[in-house]
């Protein structure tokens, strides 16, 4: 639901931003950013790219919020964090019960990871099995995080693509203008043709700038998510797996 709300809100913000740029920017800058006064305006390639750009920002903000929620789970004190506690099977049910009622616990990584490790040790009595569950869960989560950026990668691909399409169309229109009957004798042809080609290349310029900014933000947010994942893994390793103890009477 949050993702849908952010998407709608940012698309609305994109429309508002385009209206503000149209009204407030000098014509020269508005021509670069919006293709103001162009043949297809307001349905210009730049305006389409702005919609994709703001949609990408919404996706990044959604990923950041998810990472923040997972980060906060590390401060919930689900596990003993002192240096002396040893955990045996009888100590684990209260820990399992503690993480089960967590809000949205099925979606949160750390509570689910603790439940899986506890369940594995309770079932098998094997510390190696608990450690294997930890490693496989971290690996699967890492793969899942990578998959969640697939839409963002598409957005970062499609924006430059639209930019190149706009440039190609602009060059084609400029050449068509130059090839009209009688234009070759017009002394102002070179000036007009140069101006039209400059406008054609604006789409690529804007697209590359948008894509570069989104790629930078994506790396920042993805690094934050991966650090949170690593912290969760270290937390469970240090405070759960490494504290497990299999008593002799339990193995009988």
Task: Give per-residue pLDDT as tens, 98-147.
Answer: 887 655 556 788 998 999 999 999 888 888 999 999 999 999 999 999 99
CA–CA distance, 45 with 25 (Å, rounded to integer) = 18
3-state secondary structure (DSSP) of residue 244 = strand
With cut-offs at 50, 70 and 90, classify the pLDDT of residue 225: very high
CA–CA distance, 1 with 97 (Å, rounded to integer) = 28
Give the model confidence (pLDDT) of 142-171 as tens digits.
Answer: 999 999 999 999 999 999 998 888 888 777
CA–CA distance, 230 with 175 (Å, rounded to integer) = 55
Give the model confidence (pLDDT) of 68-95 as tens digits.
Answer: 999 999 988 889 888 888 888 888 899 8
* pLDDT on residue 183: 57
Using CB atoms within 10 Å of the CB of residue 90, give its burial: 0 to 12 exposed, 13 to 18 middle, 19+ buried: exposed
Question: Could you state, in order of their start, the residue ranges of all structural domains in the chain?
Answer: 2-251
If you average pLDDT over every residue of the chain, what do you get? Answer: 84
Give 193 or 27, the one with higher predicted confidence: 27
Mean per-residue pLDDT for 189-203? 69
Report in angstroms the alpha-carbon separations of 208 from 35, 66, 154, 161, 212: 16, 28, 14, 10, 6
Mean per-residue pLDDT for 51-79? 92
pTM over 0.75: yes
* Residue of 38, 36, 42, 108 lying closest to 69 (CA atoms): 108
- 112 and 105 in contact (C-beta within 8 Å)? yes
Using CB atoms within 10 Å of the CB of residue 231, give its burial: 0 to 12 exposed, 13 to 18 middle, 19+ buried: middle
């Amino acid at each position: 639901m949050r993702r849908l709300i952010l998407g709608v809100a940012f698309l609305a913000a994109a429309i508002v931003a385009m209206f503000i740029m149209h009204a407030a920017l000098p014509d020269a800058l508005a021509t670069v950013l919006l293709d103001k006064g162009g043949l297809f305006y307001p349905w210009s390639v730049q305006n389409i790219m702005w919609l994709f750009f703001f949609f990408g920002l919404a996706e990044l903000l959604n990923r950041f919020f998810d990472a923040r929620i997972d980060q906060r789970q590390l401060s919930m004190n689900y596990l003993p964090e002192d240096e002396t506690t040893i955990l045996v099977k009888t100590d684990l049910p209260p820990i399992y019960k503690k993480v089960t009622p967590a809000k949205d616990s099925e979606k949160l990584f750390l509570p689910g990871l603790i439940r899986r490790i506890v369940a594995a040790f309770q079932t098998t009595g094997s510390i190696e099995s608990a450690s294997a569950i930890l490693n496989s869960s971290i690996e699967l989560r890492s793969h899942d995080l990578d998959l969640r950026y697939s839409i963002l990668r598409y957005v970062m691909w499609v924006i430059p693509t639209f930019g190149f399409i706009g440039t190609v169309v602009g060059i084609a229109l400029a050449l068509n203008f130059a090839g009209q009957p009688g234009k070759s004798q017009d002394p102002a042809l070179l000036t007009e043709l140069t101006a039209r080609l400059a406008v054609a290349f604006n789409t690529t310029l804007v697209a590359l700038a948008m894509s570069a900014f989104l790629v930078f933000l994506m790396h920042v947010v993805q690094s934050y998510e991966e650090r949170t994942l690593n912290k969760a893994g270290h937390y469970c390793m240090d405070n759960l797996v490494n504290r497990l103890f299999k008593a002799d009477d339990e193995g009988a």
